[in-house]
Amino acid sequence: MRRIHLVLVGLGDIGLKAHLPALLRSDEVEVVGLVDPSPERRADAVAMTHGRVPAYADVGEVRGLAGVDGVVLATPPWVTPALARRFLRAGLAVLAEKPLATSLQESRPLAELPADLRRRLQVGLTYRHDPALARLRTWIRDGPLDGPLLVRAHIYDERLDPADPTHAARLRTTLEHGPPVVHEGAHVFDWLAFVLDAAPARVVDAWAVCTDPGAGLPNLNGARLVYDGGTTALVEFGWLTHELPRCELSFLGQRGYAVLDGFTFRLHLRSSAGEEVVDDPVDRTTRCFDRQLAAFADLVAGRVDTAVPGIAEGLASLELSERVAQLARRSEGD
Ligand SMILES: NC(=O)c1ccc[n+]([C@@H]2O[C@H](COP(=O)([O-])OP(=O)(O)OC[C@H]3O[C@@H](n4cnc5c(N)ncnc54)[C@H](O)[C@@H]3O)[C@@H](O)[C@H]2O)c1
């Protein structure tokens, strides 16, 4: 059976640490091209393939490649919409990193595509594929976490490391395109939509704080969301402090309390029935990027008709992130 031919565009942090390793691990996929304007990143990527895969500086060169079935876009969100549109219009399937864009306005080139092209866009809401979220969703639907919940999502996962100025520079550039909620909210709002099976009825309030003089822009922000049925979610996102608070999501109901570790997705439930732990021995990045790629292979091979999570999920989490960011900005002005 012929393997699926994919091109990886964007050879930065997540491209090289997670996407390329997943592509190289897969039996179903063959990487046939690598694209990035940076010669150093191209060299690193080619070395990871032991020189087997050619690299290009510009996506224009991919057009000439015969037999490409799809592309993985591990590019920044201010670049992703135009590239995704271009490849979808060329008839390829696309797996595009989250967030799809930096705002709904910027995502319009994708939202306006015909439905038969939109359905071929999978969004890199990677951890949606983790079995821990499916387990949590069952507890919330069937008990013991049924009924109104207090959800606390504390996402602090990018420490300022003075010994790593490249990392700080990358995150400060990212903050110029939106506060942490725009970038991290994509994941977290998708997890909440999935496990609660609902969108919030209202964003009650939102806030932003700037502690990083190097950014000069809010590097901490959060919001209070309320859901029909009485659930409240307190969400916080923070980057670039020298120390980080705990990174976790917790779900407190009348009969149970569950904690999901924000880095490992180890899930722990305490209830009157006792304790339950969901803890996969394979690390989260490996298991989720492998599952995400398998879902993309199903799409490319035509075993599924519509990408999940796709553009609907990508735009829903982007819309909520943008709403929180705007409300936080208005609150700053008060
Ligand atoms: N799914 C996840 O778990 C996860 C984790 C981390 C980052 N991300 C997302 O992945 C995206 C990339 O993040 P990153 O941390 O790897 O950023 P990065 O800056 O390290 O990498 C982005 C790469 O894209 C390249 N690039 C820019 N424009 C390009 C173009 N026109 N053609 C080809 N390559 C181009 C850059 O040169 C760079 O190498 C972001 O949207 C981020 O939010 C997702």
Q: Which atom of ligand 1 is nearest to the CA of 77?
A: 41
CA-based end-to-end distance of the chain = 62
For residue 57, give every residue at least 6 positions away whose Cβ sits within 8 Å of its Cβ, in sequence order, or none: 35, 36, 37, 39, 42
Using most ligand atoms within 8 A of CB, pick from 36, 107, 175 the residue to mutate for ligand 1: 36
**With the C-alpha atoms ordered 255, 235, 94, 263, is the resulting torsion angle positive or negative?**
negative
What pLDDT is attached to residue 214? 86
Q: Which atom of ligand 1 is nearest to the CA of 17?
A: 16
3-state secondary structure of 225: strand
Ligand 1 centroid – CA 192 distance (Å): 24
Instruction: For the domain made up of 130-280+319-333, give the CATH fold.
Output: Dihydrodipicolinate Reductase; domain 2 (3.30.360)
Using most ligand atoms within 8 A of CB, pick from 78, 97, 122, 247 the residue to mutate for ligand 1: 97
What pLDDT is attached to residue 334? 58
Ligand 1 pocket residue status of 37, Cβ below 6 Å: yes
User: 283-293 in b/e burial notation, b at 16+ Cβ within 10 A?
Assistant: ebbebbbbbbb
Is 4-127+286-308's fold the same as 130-280+319-333's? Answer: no
Ligand 1 centroid – CA 98 distance (Å): 9
R_g of the chain, CA atoms, integer Å: 20
CB 293 within 8 A of CB 22: yes
* Domain spans in the chain, listed from the N-terminal domain onward: 4-127+286-308, 130-280+319-333
Ligand 1 pocket residue status of 98, Cβ below 6 Å: yes
What pLDDT is attached to residue 125? 98
Ligand 1 pocket residue status of 172, Cβ below 6 Å: no
pLDDT in tens, the chain (334 residues): 789 999 999 999 999 999 999 999 999 999 999 999 999 999 999 999 999 999 999 999 886 677 999 999 999 999 999 999 999 999 999 999 999 999 999 999 999 999 999 999 999 999 999 999 999 999 999 999 999 999 999 999 999 999 999 999 999 999 999 999 999 999 999 999 999 999 999 999 999 999 998 888 999 999 999 999 999 999 999 999 999 999 999 999 999 999 999 999 999 999 999 999 999 999 999 999 999 999 999 999 999 999 999 999 999 999 999 999 999 998 876 5
The β-bridge partners of 276 are 269
What pLDDT is attached to residue 301? 96
Say which CATH superfamily domain 4-127+286-308 falls into.
Answer: NAD(P)-binding Rossmann-like Domain (3.40.50.720)
Using most ligand atoms within 8 A of CB, pick from 63, 75, 188 the residue to mutate for ligand 1: 75
CA distance 250 to 233: 10
Ligand 1 pocket residue status of 85, Cβ below 6 Å: no
CA distance 115 to 95: 16
Give the up-direction half-sphere exposure of residue 252: CA atoms within 13 A in the CB hemisphere.
Answer: 8
Q: Which atom of ligand 1 is nearest to the CA of 11?
A: 39
CA distance 132 to 19: 21
